[in-house]
Structure 1
Amino acid sequence: MKRTHLPLNALRVFDAAARHLSFTKAADELAVTPAAVGQQIRALEDVLGVVLFKRMTRNLELTPEAERGLPALRAGFLQFEEAVRLMQEGQGSNTLTVAAPRDFTAKWLAARLAGYGADKPDLRFVLVSADGAVDFTQANLDLAVIFGAMPAEEELSGTRLTTEAMVVVAAPALAERLKSASDLAAAALVHHPGSDWAGWFAERQASHPQADAGLSVGDAGLAIDAAAAGYGVARVPMTLAASDMASGRVARVFDIEPADEAYWLVAPPPQWRQKKVRALVEFLTA
């Protein structure tokens, strides 16, 4: 019989009835009625074309055909259990796999995961770099962090992780000399994919003599590090700059600007039902 035609549920019922030699006890194990067990056994006998049980007055006996097939069937169920265990191993309760942008991991997430895991010695984190779109079908992820608007995909749900703003930062000594947009003419600009210096200057009806020059880096985290090293000024999400501002590596220049975009925790709905995911989300959003 082809595997696509195997009556797996009926075989599971047969295994239980064979262990107990009782439809009633098998029904108790499977949380169904004895009549349902009897119906499944009769249907299985019809499919196989053999009788599996001798119905005695007070009990059941296995037929020779049933006794021949039972060891292989039970070995098969053990293989099923092992296959399920192996598939679930990477999603065990002690492993959390999170995809996030590299700069967000370095500037915000890593420190909080360290705090979360400080009293959980068996906990294991797997961090996946994801600076673009996240495909949960291609990676065994528990959660992902994205920046922007909440994704509209029906297969994802999420919760806002931060209320975002943009901030211009520079090394403290340089920041003290910058009081207006025109003062930036003497400072180098640090560019990254989300810096939008052109829009910033346009809103203030100002310009920079070398707006396209300066330093270009791959993400906002590198932009903050460049600013801290004294290269120039960087325009970055406040969430990423907060720890470096608090430590004095960089200082804020000008007012903080509210932003429409934010960092989101997202995952397919089934992931949110996992206890380990709910616990981590509660910690990160507290």
Structure 2
Amino acid sequence: MKRTHLPLNALRVFDAAARHLSFTRAADELAVTPAAVGQQIRALEDVLGVVLFRRTPKGLELTDEASAGLDPLRAGFLQIEDAVQAMQAGQSSQVFTIACPPDLFAVWLAPRLAAFRANNPDVRFVLAGAEADFTEANLDLAMRWAEGPGELEGVAVGEAARVTVGDGPWIAWPGDPEPAGAGEPAPLANVADAGQALAAARAGMGRARVPALLAGGQGATAEPCRRGYWLVAPAPQWRQKKVRALVSFLTAD
């Protein structure tokens, strides 16, 4: 069903003018000029095809047509306020839905979420897969190994650096598929993520280049790289008070 376009701003002006029976006092409430109130009322009368106010020696009076629509209009504004409050309720929710690579969650994010919850005992966490979609998974926040936030809002976590752990043949993972360089012998092992590469290197299977944040600074060499870990979210989630509080806590150190 196609909805009729509603001149909501003009209707809000009409409500104020009807309560005060004065364009001047309505203008004071709305922080506009009396002339602007008059323009909005005339425009609304043109749209509706009715006269809303009469000027009398005693001042403004509502017409019968205006009086007939005033109560339903005010009830509608109350419903709009309820709808806005319902949409904003997520900002005060104590549930965080977060996507994070499982290797980083284990060594970095989980201890910090535990510390955050110690200070905020009512919060709960729902963990989604690393590549979960913000819309489909209803995410509040995600941690990504990337060159930047892209089209999302975000902040870098730690430095964009990697360390080399272990000795011997290279171990490859999707974030570093050719550690030895193009044209060199194939790596000894190809694993699913940086966490598996780190575990394999520490077990003596070879050496791997992994994010410095994940390795905890333990490695023979360290070098800057284009990618790093980022906390990201679309702008609406990023602006939520609860998300800002969590991001501030996670990036405090």
The secondary structure found in structure 2 opposite 1:86 is: helix
Residue 111 of structure 1 corresponds to 111
Percent identical: 58
Shift in alpha-carbon separation, 1:58–1:3, aligned structure 2, 3 A: farther
> Does residue 211 of the first structure (1) align with residue 208 of the second (2)?
no
Distance (Å, rounded) in 2 between the aligned partners of 1:121 and 1:86:
24
Distance (Å, rounded) in 2 between the aligned partners of 1:112 and 1:234:
28
Distance (Å, rounded) in 2 between the aligned partners of 1:54 and 1:268:
49
Distance (Å, rounded) in 2 between the aligned partners of 1:157 and 1:112:
21
1:144 is aligned with what amino acid? Answer: A
Residue 163 of structure 2 corresponds to 166
Shift in alpha-carbon separation, 1:167–1:41, aligned structure 2, 3 A: same
> Does residue 145 of the first structure (1) align with residue 143 of the second (2)?
yes
Question: 8 Å contact 2:165–2:198 — kept in the other structure?
Answer: no
- Aligned positions of 1:58-207 closer than 5 A: 58-92=58-92, 94-131=94-131, 140-151=138-149, 153=150, 155-163=151-159, 164-168=161-165, 180-181=167-168, 192-194=173-175, 196=177, 199-200=179-180
Shift in alpha-carbon separation, 1:90–1:275, aligned structure 2, 3 A: closer
Q: 1:255 aligns with which of 195, 207, 220?
A: 220
Deviation at 1:48, TM superposition (A): 0.7
Question: 8 Å contact 1:107–1:221 — kept in the other structure?
Answer: no
TM-score, normalization by structure 2: 0.76
Distance (Å, rounded) in 1 between the aligned partners of 2:51 and 2:207:
79
Further displaced range: 60-69 or 276-285: 276-285
Report 1 or 2 for greater relative contact order, CA contacts < 8 Å, sequence distance ≥ 6: 1
CA-based RMSD = 3.6
1:14 is aligned with what amino acid? Answer: F
Residue 232 of structure 2 corresponds to 266
The secondary structure found in structure 1 opposite 2:188 is: coil
2:165 is aligned with what amino acid? Answer: V
Distance (Å, rounded) in 1 between the aligned partners of 2:67 and 2:36:
22
Question: 8 Å contact 2:26–2:37 — kept in the other structure?
Answer: yes
Deviation at 1:161, TM superposition (A): 0.9
Structure 2 stretches of 5 or more lacking a match?
A: none
Deviation at 1:94, TM superposition (A): 4.5
Deviation at 1:138, TM superposition (A): 5.6
Deviation at 1:280, TM superposition (A): 3.0
Residue 249 of structure 1 corresponds to none
- Aligned positions of 1:217-236 closer than 5 A: 217-224=191-198, 232=205, 235=208, 236=210
Question: 8 Å contact 1:94–1:124 — kept in the other structure?
Answer: yes
Shift in alpha-carbon separation, 1:18–1:103, aligned structure 2, 3 A: farther
Question: 8 Å contact 1:51–1:63 — kept in the other structure?
Answer: yes
What does the per-residue CA deviation read over 1:231-253, in whole Å, with 9 as the maximum and x for residues that have no partner? 845733232232xx9xxxxxx5x
2:188 is aligned with what amino acid? Answer: A
Q: 1:282 aligns with which of 234, 248, 253?
A: 248
Deviation at 1:90, TM superposition (A): 2.6
Deviation at 1:72, TM superposition (A): 2.0
Shift in alpha-carbon separation, 1:240–1:3, aligned structure 2, 3 A: same
Structure 1 stretches of 5 or more lacking a match?
A: 170-179, 246-251
Shift in alpha-carbon separation, 1:136–1:157, aligned structure 2, 3 A: same
1:48 is aligned with what amino acid? Answer: L
Residue 175 of structure 1 corresponds to none
